[in-house]
Structure 1
Amino acid sequence: MAAIFDGMLRHARELLAVRSPLDAELIVSEILGSWWGQRALDGDVEEVVGEALVAHAARVGSPAALALLTGITCLGTRGQAARAERTALELMDRGVAGPIWADRVGMVEARECYVSRDVYGDQESVICVFEYPGDGGASDRHALVVLVDRTRPGVVGPRMPGERPPACGSVRDAWVSSRIDRLLDHCRREAAVNPLMRFEEIEPRDARALLQRCLDHTNEEPDAPVDENFGSYHAFVRHRVRALPTGGRAPQPAVHGADRRADLAVRFLASDEAAELSDTAAASRCVDRIIDYGCTHDFGRPLRVSPVKCEMFLLDWLPRKVLLSQAEQEAVPHVLAAWTRWAGRRTGLPDEAVRATLDAVWDATVKFADAYRDPSSFGLDREIVDRLLPDGDLEALPRRAFALPFLSGRHRVSGRHGTIDLSVLDPSDPADRRVLLELEHPGATEEHLRAHERIADRLWRGDPPQLWETAQALLDVGYERHEVLHRLIAVLDRNGHDPRALRAGLRVLRHEPPPG
């Protein structure tokens, strides 16, 4: 590790040659981005690596080390910044010369903010203008451009106490421009000639609320699909978002409760757009799926339609997630097309955008039949599948079978056990689930059974999603099913009351070395 840190300090020598605080911040951000997105086996990577770098710079004590510590005081995490500031003061007391930009680094003020977005709501570029106050600051006036992507599904649902608000997108890329007027003129011209683009000024406080939530979501995403250079800008983006004023509001989910969803479905089915759908029963079930996808996986926006969203719904989400009947498989593309016309009219989507979305629906329809697979086609008993998927949640099949393993030959539960007819047990019912667990753990103590009830319930609901991801990671490296369950139970018992601590504990568990 010392050799790696020495390389970073050699990079930090560039800080001694620059005069602009903006240039210095970008160099420091690049150094701090060296480990962004990585995972540490024994704790948070920012603590393990970032704070170790601060300690190494303190031991070296060179002007380059002091320059790096000065930059970390501004751009580091709160823990890194506090340690870097103390160490930098100690080096200055020892007579180490500080960089010429030290008094101005990080001292930016936010000016105007803008957003350039497509009419679909797939992506938007948030442009925030900053400058350093005082004489000469105009030369360092700059714009931070952050690309927010809303095409990747992000679950919106009830929050537990202490959890962050639901995400409203993810940060995918960021860059800095000093040619602000040229940048803004380009965005205005594009919006003027392209009916599918919009450009407007927004309140800086609203820009902060939006970017903070999206940045938090990106930070928590495993293997976040960001641009390859995003890590170099991550610390810079984090600092600039904090420099924006507080008190704003990010976009809120548009539809929450079941009543609102049902009302949308009724209005659609009574519309002219739905009048030509021949199988009204199948159409009703299909529109429920469309609304559910928009509410739960598109940041609470069921009325939003776009070519990308429709393709993801037909070719990715439905084949992975939902168990459809044959009638529903045949009906869903036609229902989605009718929904596109109806939702587009209600939201004022331009005719060009509606036509492009319909073209994407019909293009995807050809591929949908190949992409969609019924679980029974893989040799699974349909009756067993129906018991595990009373809600049609196809994505839940493997984790529910793992939690209540009566699909495999060794564990399969059928016939009768004493007075119990095992074929009618409902695994979605807690009482019946308890019977299944008792059969799997004969002679177990009440405490042991309750622990398995808790983990089975969590896996059944997929709460949190990282629970099943961790189980798969442990199975992949060779742990047996029951040992995996007990490791998950241990983490759940320690952190189940705190959603963030639970996710952190599972993240550490995913990096367990192979057994024995």
Structure 2
Amino acid sequence: MVRMSPVSRVRKKQSSSEEPEPQSLTGFFKDVLGDYANLGTEPGHLEVELLTSELMGQWWETGDDLGPELVELAADKGTAPAAAFLAAFASLGDDEGQRADAGEALAGVVKRGLPEPEWAATLGEFGVGECWRTADVYGDASSLLCVFGEGDTAHGVLALLDFVEFDGWVKDVVVVEAPDEVLAEMRGQAAEGGELMVFEQVPPGRARLLLEDGIAITDSIEDPEVSADFSRFRALALSRARLLGEPEQAEETPEFGEQEQADAIAAFFAFAADEGTAAELDDDEATRAVAEMLAEFGAEHDPRRPLRVGPEKLAFFLDTVFDGDDDLGEDIEAALPDVVRAWAEWGARRDGLSEEATGTLLGAIDEVLEELAEDDSEVDSADVYLDGTENVDDPEALVDLLARRMFAIPDTVTVIGDDELELDPTDAEQRRLLVVGEFPEYHESLAGDDFDEQERMRLAMRTTIVDQLWDNDPAAVWEAAKRLGGKGLEREEVLSQVEQVLAKHLEPATESSMEFDLDDYEAGLSSLG
């Protein structure tokens, strides 16, 4: 989709590493009046609208519509900046009632002798140009550009619509200058995309429907993952949408209940049996279960086109399935890849996708499946670092535990002499062999039983530190390791520095053992990093 390039803002939000202090409504209103006073007596229309849209974006982000209260305060204030706010809000207010209230408040202020801002009567009156959209051929996402004004006043509203999770929600919207350049970029992207892209002119009424419905869906989502610009340009985009005339009638959402889903699944298995798919597909309980999951997913997340297939939609389905709390069972997990591929083939044939588009779709699904398989293998590999005695309910604590033990023992396969060994790091003796494997220069002397004292001490210290990391006892070892790692030191450099601290505090205990003072050792570790 086309990149989003906003025009320069009227003002920038102040950046700070600290959270701003909560502000009272009267304090906020005072700042608002100051902003409108700074516009002067002859601001450009777009300048007024951008300021107002950003102001409304601030309370959109907090979920607290301050419009009615600010209108009341402005009506009581009755100053030129207050009149400017009322005139602007009468044009950009979110709903007809708010705009009417602001207009009435402005009329009341004018009756009391304050002149209406010169620009108020024509605010937002821009000519409507053409609307264009690019989209992927699958219908996962679309960029919509609507042009307004001409000459020096020409600008565009550019929106990015996502049909994967919430059926056409607007996840990004900006006002762009030089819309002809953006349109040229959209043409170029469509040409480069070939059969995988759609580029077409959109009737104004349909564009309004897409914008208003899409922003309404975004408004209904709790904490939507929108761009930083969305809130600033949201109100202005809705204001421009109203210039596009009457919206088209929305298509009626088709019925896709249990019977329709059952019919679709029957058609899918008939296709798999008659037409054949890239993968052999058995009609059994597991494959039926996956097909039912796909149909239910379409009904929930893509109600207008529940059987539509697209790379992003099916990737989202797979992520949802594997990230869910339900245990799928081995049979369903085994059937899932082939069923999803076959479902994609069936959908591509039904939707008339080209051979190239179908191939790209299947290739994208394979990539997602490979990534998920790698993620699963990483989870499985993490199991070897747990012996079942750990009682870690906090996910962050579990991540730290695994990171610590994987730092202590990065690999569970080692080579000692001519033998490649896969070992269990939870067993202390096998863990020692994994440590030995990291010192191939010692293997010959170990095998010949001519291991000198210096080598023996080095290996003993490394084994001790690895055990300390494994058990997190003392915890100061892992804390020191993280500090040193944070400064860019590699694992071997970190362990070498810890060994030096340990060596300073070792004292003979018996002829065959050493001991150290724990407090002194921890104090030495605290000085590292």
Partner in structure 1 of residue 32 of structure 2: 8
**1:95: how far off?**
3.4
The answer as to whether partners of 2:168 and 2:214 remain within 8 angstroms in 1 is yes
Deviations, residues 407-427 of structure 1 (Å, cap 9, x unaligned) = xxxxxxxxxxxxxxxxxxxxx
Partner in structure 1 of residue 75 of structure 2: 58
Partner in structure 1 of residue 128 of structure 2: 110
CA–CA separation in structure 2 for the residues paired with 1:307 and 1:371: 25
Pairwise mapping of residues 338-417 of structure 1 onto structure 2 (< 5 A)? 338-347=342-351, 348=353, 350=357, 351-367=359-375
Provide closer, same or farther for how the CA distance between residues 87 and 279 of structure 1 changes in structure 2, counting only shifts above 3 A.
closer
Partner in structure 2 of residue 34 of structure 1: 58
The answer as to whether partners of 2:71 and 2:102 remain within 8 angstroms in 1 is yes
Larger RCO (CA under 8 A, 6+ residues apart): 1
The answer as to whether partners of 2:138 and 2:308 remain within 8 angstroms in 1 is yes
3-state secondary structure, aligned to 1:37: helix
Partner in structure 2 of residue 87 of structure 1: 105
**1:332: how far off?**
0.9
Amino acid aligned to 2:69: A
- Asked if 1:223 is matched to 2:223, the reply is yes
Provide closer, same or farther for how the CA distance between residues 361 and 305 of structure 1 changes in structure 2, counting only shifts above 3 A.
farther
3-state secondary structure, aligned to 2:280: coil
3-state secondary structure, aligned to 2:227: coil
Structure 1 residue corresponding to 2:293, chosen from 267, 272, 289: 289
CA–CA separation in structure 2 for the residues paired with 1:52 and 1:198: 45
RMSD (Å) for aligned C-alpha atoms: 2.6
CA–CA separation in structure 1 for the residues paired with 2:281 and 2:176: 51
CA–CA separation in structure 2 for the residues paired with 1:14 and 1:198: 44
- Asked if 1:246 is matched to 2:246, the reply is yes
CA–CA separation in structure 2 for the residues paired with 1:205 and 1:79: 22
Provide closer, same or farther for how the CA distance between residues 148 and 14 of structure 1 changes in structure 2, counting only shifts above 3 A.
farther
- Asked if 1:141 is matched to 2:141, the reply is no
The answer as to whether partners of 1:75 and 1:81 remain within 8 angstroms in 2 is yes
Partner in structure 2 of residue 193 of structure 1: 192
CA–CA separation in structure 1 for the residues paired with 2:203 and 2:326: 40
Identity %: 31
The answer as to whether partners of 1:255 and 1:301 remain within 8 angstroms in 2 is no
Question: Which structure 2 segments of 5+ residues have no match?
Answer: 1-24, 381-529
- Asked if 1:337 is matched to 2:341, the reply is yes
The answer as to whether partners of 2:175 and 2:237 remain within 8 angstroms in 1 is no
**1:230: how far off?**
1.5
CA–CA separation in structure 2 for the residues paired with 1:365 and 1:300: 31
CA–CA separation in structure 2 for the residues paired with 1:338 and 1:322: 23
Deviations, residues 18-46 of structure 1 (Å, cap 9, x unaligned) = 5321221111111122201323xxxxx32
3-state secondary structure, aligned to 2:349: helix
Number of equivalent positions:
346
**1:289: how far off?**
1.0
Amino acid aligned to 2:368: A
The answer as to whether partners of 1:173 and 1:226 remain within 8 angstroms in 2 is yes
Partner in structure 2 of residue 208 of structure 1: 208
The answer as to whether partners of 1:37 and 1:219 remain within 8 angstroms in 2 is no
Question: Which structure 1 segments of 5+ residues have no match?
Answer: 40-44, 132-136, 155-167, 373-516
The answer as to whether partners of 2:53 and 2:92 remain within 8 angstroms in 1 is yes
CA–CA separation in structure 1 for the residues paired with 2:230 and 2:51: 13
- Asked if 1:75 is matched to 2:92, the reply is yes
**1:148: how far off?**
1.1
3-state secondary structure, aligned to 1:194: helix
Partner in structure 2 of residue 130 of structure 1: 148
CA–CA separation in structure 2 for the residues paired with 1:94 and 1:308: 58
CA–CA separation in structure 1 for the residues paired with 2:379 and 2:349: 30
3-state secondary structure, aligned to 2:146: strand
Farther-moved stretch of structure 1 (65-74 vs 219-228): 219-228
3-state secondary structure, aligned to 1:36: helix
Amino acid aligned to 2:339: V
- Asked if 1:183 is matched to 2:201, the reply is no
**1:318: how far off?**
5.2
Provide closer, same or farther for how the CA distance between residues 260 and 119 of structure 1 changes in structure 2, counting only shifts above 3 A.
same
Amino acid aligned to 2:235: A
CA–CA separation in structure 2 for the residues paired with 1:300 and 1:274: 28
3-state secondary structure, aligned to 2:39: helix
Partner in structure 2 of residue 395 of structure 1: none
The answer as to whether partners of 1:123 and 1:150 remain within 8 angstroms in 2 is yes
Partner in structure 2 of residue 497 of structure 1: none
CA–CA separation in structure 2 for the residues paired with 1:14 and 1:299: 48
- Asked if 1:150 is matched to 2:167, the reply is no
The answer as to whether partners of 2:80 and 2:114 remain within 8 angstroms in 1 is yes
Deviations, residues 108-160 of structure 1 (Å, cap 9, x unaligned) = 343321111122322211112223xxxxx6432321111111222x3xxxxxx
Q: Normalising by structure 2, report the TM-score.
A: 0.60
CA–CA separation in structure 2 for the residues paired with 1:186 and 1:252: 33
**1:368: how far off?**
5.6
3-state secondary structure, aligned to 2:161: strand
3-state secondary structure, aligned to 1:112: strand
